[in-house]
């Protein structure tokens, strides 16, 4: 009977290597293998660069390539291939950490890997170490309160359909628009209709080179960095 090593989903935070939890550091210093996910278009893994100061000497690093495409068949094949790699090393009894930006269960590649692995080998032991999200770091950096008392906080995808985006933003006292890199004209239009433009702040590449905080949304480029978000609050 195969004795599998444990797979840890590790959130390395939004960018600053100091914004990684003590628990994550302890795990990283004890695992045999570190899986670093990266786009096939990039030579380096950003999550790995954040975690690298906390890795122990001699840690085996395995890069997992994922294509940037909407072709579901191509994506499924990539997940299956990478899940096989992960399962193979865990099957040798090795413990491993899968690195992910922010939190492993918030818009993360780890969720896809977890589902794929469960479909292959449900007996693999998995533990998740939460990480600081980009919007928590952005709120701290800008000094903006996210929610208090009986208020609601909505976490919205900027690539959601316009009607859905408007419905959610119109119902919440405070919101975070993640993935604000693709549909800025639509996002601006919705915020303007709801009277939320002046109470919104755009944050991009927080903790990385090129970091910016833009208070006026009309100054945000049509196609900002992938690492962009918007904080929205009605009483800001």
Q: Can you give the CATH number for the domain in which 119 is found?
A: 3.40.1010.10
Residue 1 in domain: no
| pLDDT score recorded for residue 119 | 73
What does the pLDDT look like over 116-146, one tens digit per residue? Answer: 887 766 788 999 999 999 999 999 999 999 9
- For the four alpha carbons of 119, 111, 9 and 58, in that order, the dihedral sign comes to positive
Q: How would you list the strands of the sheet with 228-233, edge to edge?
A: 153-157, 174-178, 228-233, 200-204, 212-214
**Over 80: is that where the pLDDT of 69 sits?**
no
Q: Are residues 119 and 19 in the same domain?
A: yes
228, 172 contact by CB (below 8 A) = no
Q: What is the CATH number of the domain that holds 170?
A: 3.30.950.10
pLDDT in tens, 88-117: 999 999 999 999 999 999 999 898 888 888
Are 153 and 79 in a shared domain? no
CB 151 within 8 A of CB 157: no
Q: Summarize the confidence of residues 1-8 as an average pLDDT.
A: 85
Residues 47 and 139 both lie in one domain: no
State whether 120 and 138 are in the same domain: no
Considering the domain boundaries, does residue 138 fall inside one? yes
Q: Which of 108, 129, 150 is the last residue of a domain?
A: 129
Which of 129, 158, 184 is a domain's end point? 129
Listed residues 64, 94, 129: the one ending a domain = 129
| b/e map 93-132, b = 16+ CB within 10 Å | ebbbbbbbbbbbebebbbebbbebbeeeeeebebebbbbb
The reply to whether 35 falls in a domain is: yes
Same domain, 90 and 166: no
| Residue 70 shares a structural domain with residue 125 | yes
Residue 171 sits in the same domain as residue 111: no
Q: Does residue 198 sit in the same domain as residue 216?
A: yes
* Range(s) of the domain holding residue 216: 134-233
């Amino acid at each position: 009977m195969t004795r599998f090593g444990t797979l840890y989903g590790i959130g390395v935070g939004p960018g600053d290597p100091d914004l990684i939890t003590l628990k994550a550091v302890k795990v990283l210093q004890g695992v045999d293998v570190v899986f670093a996910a990266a786009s096939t278009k990039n030579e380096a893994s950003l999550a790995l660069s954040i975690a690298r100061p906390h890795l122990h000497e001699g840690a085996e690093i395995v890069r997992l390539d994922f294509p940037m495409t909407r072709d579901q068949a191509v994506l499924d094949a990539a997940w299956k291939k990478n899940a096989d790699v992960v399962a193979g090393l865990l099957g040798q009894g090795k413990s491993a950490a899968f690195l992910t930006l922010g939190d492993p269960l918030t818009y993360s590649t780890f969720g896809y890997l977890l589902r794929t692995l469960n479909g292959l080998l449900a007996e693999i032991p998995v533990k998740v170490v939460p990480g600081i999200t980009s919007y928590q770091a952005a709120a701290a950096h800008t000094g903006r309160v996210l929610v208090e008392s009986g208020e609601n906080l909505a976490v919205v995808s900027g690539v959601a359909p316009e009607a859905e985006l408007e419905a959610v933003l119109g119902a919440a006292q405070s919101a975070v628009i993640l993935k604000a890199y693709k549909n800025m004209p639509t996002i601006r239009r919705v915020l303007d209709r709801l009277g939320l433009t002046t109470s919104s702040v755009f944050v991009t590449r927080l903790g990385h080179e090129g970091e910016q905080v833009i208070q006026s949304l009309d100054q945000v480029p049509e196609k900002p960095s992938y690492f962009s978000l918007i904080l929205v609050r009605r009483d800001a």
